[in-house]
């Protein structure tokens, strides 16, 4: 069974450009989480969805960040415009209802120049 799938795996862009990160959760999982990881701040929860509905977006750093989940098998995290301080590894994770265990995707390494 495929795990959480993320694309792209690496992204290098210039400041001011739009960046879109994609995630396909494990089939049947009801929860989807977006995290950002940096050395300084560790693993930070940005937003999470339950049954495609955003539940808590209090971790989204500012209006430049937005996330959508149009269906149970796809989610996007968009940064527009991107800034160098957005450089980080972005993880997507999913979990089934009734179990808190989260399964992480391989991550997207974002570098904003």
Partner 1 sequence: QKEVEQNSGPLSVPEGAIASLNCTYSDRGSQSFFWYRQYSGKSPELIMFIYSNGDKEDGRFTAQLNKASQYVSLLIRDSQPSDSATYLCAVNPGGNNRLAFGKGNQVVVIP
List interacting residues with partner 1 (CB under 8 A). Answer: 31, 33, 41-43, 45, 48, 50, 55-56, 91, 95, 97, 99-107
97 or 113, CB closer to partner 1? 97
Instruction: Find the helix or strand (DSSP H, E) in which 113 lies.
Output: none
Residue 69, φ and ψ in degrees, nearest 5: -140, 85
Q: Report CA-CA distances (Å) from 69 to 17, 25, 35, 86, 112.
A: 22, 11, 15, 21, 24
Cβ partners under 8 Å of residue 98, min gap 6: none
48 or 65, CB closer to partner 1? 48
29 or 82, CB closer to partner 1? 29
57 or 81, CB closer to partner 1? 57
Question: 48 with 31: CB under 8 angstroms?
Answer: yes
CB of 77 to partner 1, least distance (A): 16
Please give the distance of CA 39 from its chain centroid, rounded to a whole number.
Answer: 17
């Amino acid at each position: 069974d495929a795990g959480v799938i993320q694309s792209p795996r690496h992204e290098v862009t210039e400041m001011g450009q739009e960046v879109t990160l994609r995630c396909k959760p494990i089939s049947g999982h009801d929860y989807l989480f977006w995290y950002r990881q940096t050395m300084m701040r560790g693993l930070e929860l940005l937003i999470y969805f339950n049954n495609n509905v955003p539940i808590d977006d209090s971790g989204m750093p500012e209006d430049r960040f937005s996330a959508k989940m149009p269906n149970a098998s796809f989610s996007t995290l968009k940064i527009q415009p991107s800034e160098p301080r957005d450089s980080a590894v972005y993880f997507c994770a999913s979990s089934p209802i009734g179990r808190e265990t989260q399964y992480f995707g391989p991550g997207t390494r974002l570098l904003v120049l």
